[in-house]
Structure 1
Amino acid sequence: MTLCCSCSYKTDDIYQRNVTEETQKTYAKLVELSSQHQFMFGHHDDTLYGIGWEGEEGRSDVKDVCGDYPAVISFDLGELELGNTQNLDKVPFSRIKKEIMNQYQRGGIISLSWHVRNPLTGGDAWDVSDSTTVHSILPGNDNHKMFMGWLDYVASFINSLKTPDGTKIPILFRPWHEHTGSWFWWGKELCSSKDYKTLWRMTVDSLQAKGVDNALYTYSSSSGLSDTIQYLERYPGDDVIDVLGFDVYQSAKKSFVADLRQSLSVLEEVGKSHNKPIAITETGYEGIPDPTWWTGTLLPVIKDYPISYVLVWRNAREKENHFYAPYPGHMSEQDFVKFYNDPKTLFAKDIKK
């Protein structure tokens, strides 16, 4: 994608997307960081809740440890499609909207994932009991009309993200993630490559038609990438994707480091050939039982690759030991401060400058 000074760009002769000037600036920031070999740190639901707290204005486990907010904060839209007032993690969408505004005002980046419920079975995003779900919501099929209504909720939410003066807040939208695995109803064994690509294009086309011009779209596979052919097998096209990423979590150190390095090598190659910024869209080590994980495991690998950001998952307040960022008193707290002070890592204050 070529960034230009106008408020729209044309990617080929038949497909055109309009994006706001602020959204173009966000994209330019991702590209710039990739070229500088610096990367932003991100955390899911960072300012919504943490270990031992919820809903406290201005609070963040990350900020409590290092004195700064993450440069990227992600939130989830799961169950917005049902017209609910809370998402799947029982956070009010009104609160999410407020924290999106706060993150934008501090100069940060916002990413939105969507653990959408299964439109065929009524189950959650992890319900893989029927392999025809994706096909059922594509144009001409039984659940298409219903699903288009679900997309209406998403479009309305993204369009509503505005500052008091009416400026639309740019977001990274990351649906249909970890599709190279088969634990979500849109996963590899649950739909064909053709249907998955159609799902992506239908999503982007629908949001664009409903006036969404403040979204960049993130294609985010699972890890375990062997080569570029595997990564691109279900890629819907350069004209509908802006950021390339993958999700990877640690269980054993040796295999994690090998997987991370191999997957990053593949992603770097694809990013260069398709002229897209790259990112580690989800990662982490549940409970962070290694006191030097940040500078001893994660940083030594990712510093060698031109990623725009790395994002760890949430610090759940309702599940014991389900956290991925440190909090005051955690064994990795001091090491995280070292990670924070490394010149390659960027937090909110760094990108506000």
Structure 2
Amino acid sequence: MKNRTYIHIFMVLTMGLTGCSQAAKEEAAGNFRTPEASAMLETLKTLPEQGVFMFGHHDDPVYGIGWDGDSARSDVKSVCGDYPAIMSFDLGRMEIWGDRNLDNVSLDRIRKETVAQYQRGGMVSFSWHTDNPLTGKDTWDVSDSTVVKSILPGGANHDKFIGWIDKVADYLNSIQTSEGIKVPVLFRPWHEHTGSWFWWGQNLCTTDEYKALWQMTYNRMKEKGADQLLWAYSPGTEPNDSTEYLERYPGDSIVDLIGVDIYQYGDNENYQQNLDKSLQILTQVSRAHGKAMAITETGYETIPDSTWWTQTLLPVIEKYPISYVLVWRNAREKENHFYAPYPGQVSEKDFIKFYENPKTVFVGDIKSIVKNNK
């Protein structure tokens, strides 16, 4: 157990006291969210003030290297003895299949793991790699530049897509504790739009169309009663300044957290320079717009560098007021497609040093802080 007695904020936020006050203010302003969601947002904003950030991992408890579907298992936990403080899952293809996502994980399992993570004191984020509603192909099909236009009001696929949003809203609303509390989650749709590898990307729609897609999604979710959501805006590394970063920003009234998706493909120095550039932009935008900020996706595939965690990643991110840093998944169906260590992996020992660093927050840190401050 790490000594984190200085992060006093968690006790108040976990009990929802701050969240209740914030929720009352938001309801008066016509932007109601549940007390639990307000508490989650306050935690995201307050963490950097404490000089710490959460560590996250995509699909952490549902599969990993050499295993699939084991209960209470996690590659991260197998290495350091603790779960990530934030986990992420994807909703892609649920709009088609109904019972599972594009990585063949059952929605029921994801629901259970989301509740379990919330009850541990941790957080969950959702992305949505939705299929192309015009061509019927996957989310990476960029063969037609009229997809977004076709799903906006008046478009040929509008009603169809509203039905898809409704399925997502109904599912997120179904993620509840045994007491009937809707679990607050961070929803991160239409990500990496500054690139053009998704059908909603930079070259596939206009700025106005992209903003309209966000507004339509947000409005429909609200109509469906999904008031437990926080909303994240996460471009890729393409923006070179805050103006470019905000070019397609849907507005302060919608977005709760700003982020960046950034991966290492070359040498360590190049990654650090790109990460530093992106975090400088995020910090500027965060301060100007009063938004929490995070590294919403990152990682170095196969982590071949034995000291990557403490010598490449940490020296950059510890300089900035991020709420969390999240690495991508450890695929069980693809060889050499993993971003978190597992027992025996070359960066395992260095990750333990990363875990032990007083700036990193894992879910056990949250639990012990709450217990120690009650």
Output the TM-score relative to the length of structure 2.
0.91
Matched residue SS, 1:279: strand
Separation in 1, partners of 2:263, 2:123: 22
1:301 matched to which residue of 2?
316
Separation in 1, partners of 2:234, 2:24: 24
2:65 matched to which residue of 1?
51
Aligned partners of 2:20 and 2:39 also within 8 Å: no
Separation in 2, partners of 1:96, 1:302: 29
Matches within 5 A, 1:72-91: 72-91=86-105
Q: 1:4 to 1:107 in 2, by over 3 A?
A: closer
**1:222 matched to 2:264:** no
Separation in 1, partners of 2:89, 2:184: 14
Deviations 1:298-337 (A, max 9, x none): 0000000000000000000000010000000001000000
**1:179 matched to 2:193:** yes
Q: 1:147 to 1:165 in 2, by over 3 A?
A: same
**1:334 matched to 2:353:** no
Matches within 5 A, 1:1-353: 5=21, 7-10=23-26, 16-252=30-266, 253-352=268-367, 353=369
Separation in 1, partners of 2:181, 2:150: 37
Separation in 1, partners of 2:206, 2:115: 38
Separation in 2, partners of 1:225, 1:197: 17
Separation in 1, partners of 2:58, 2:132: 23
Structure 2: give runs of 5+ residues left out of the alignment.
Answer: 1-17, 370-374
Separation in 1, partners of 2:193, 2:22: 34
Q: 1:149 to 1:55 in 2, by over 3 A?
A: same
Matched residue SS, 1:188: coil
Separation in 1, partners of 2:147, 2:24: 34
Matched residue SS, 2:338: coil
Matched residue SS, 2:172: helix
Separation in 1, partners of 2:28, 2:274: 35
Aligned partners of 2:194 and 2:239 also within 8 Å: no
Matched residue SS, 1:222: coil
| Aligned-pair identity (%) | 57
Matched residue SS, 2:277: helix
Separation in 2, partners of 1:114, 1:295: 31
2:10 matched to which residue of 1?
none
Q: 1:246 to 1:289 in 2, by over 3 A?
A: same
Deviation at 1:225, TM superposition (A): 2.9
Separation in 2, partners of 1:58, 1:145: 40
Separation in 2, partners of 1:3, 1:272: 21
Aligned partners of 2:19 and 2:36 also within 8 Å: no
Separation in 2, partners of 1:107, 1:18: 23
Aligned partners of 1:34 and 1:278 also within 8 Å: no
Aligned partners of 1:68 and 1:348 also within 8 Å: yes
Matched residue SS, 1:244: strand
Aligned length in residues: 350
Matched residue SS, 2:192: coil
Separation in 2, partners of 1:12, 1:300: 42
Separation in 1, partners of 2:96, 2:57: 26
Structure 1: give runs of 5+ residues left out of the alignment.
Answer: none
Deviation at 1:87, TM superposition (A): 0.4
Aligned partners of 1:179 and 1:222 also within 8 Å: yes
Aligned partners of 1:221 and 1:231 also within 8 Å: yes
Separation in 1, partners of 2:245, 2:115: 34
Matched residue SS, 1:5: helix
Q: 1:269 to 1:11 in 2, by over 3 A?
A: farther
Aligned partners of 1:17 and 1:208 also within 8 Å: no
Deviation at 1:9, TM superposition (A): 4.2
Deviation at 1:11, TM superposition (A): 9.2
Separation in 1, partners of 2:353, 2:311: 11
- Counterpart amino acid of residue 336 in structure 1: F
Deviation at 1:350, TM superposition (A): 1.2
Separation in 1, partners of 2:307, 2:105: 32
Matched residue SS, 2:150: helix
Deviations 1:175-223 (A, max 9, x none): 0000000000000000001000000010010000010011000000001
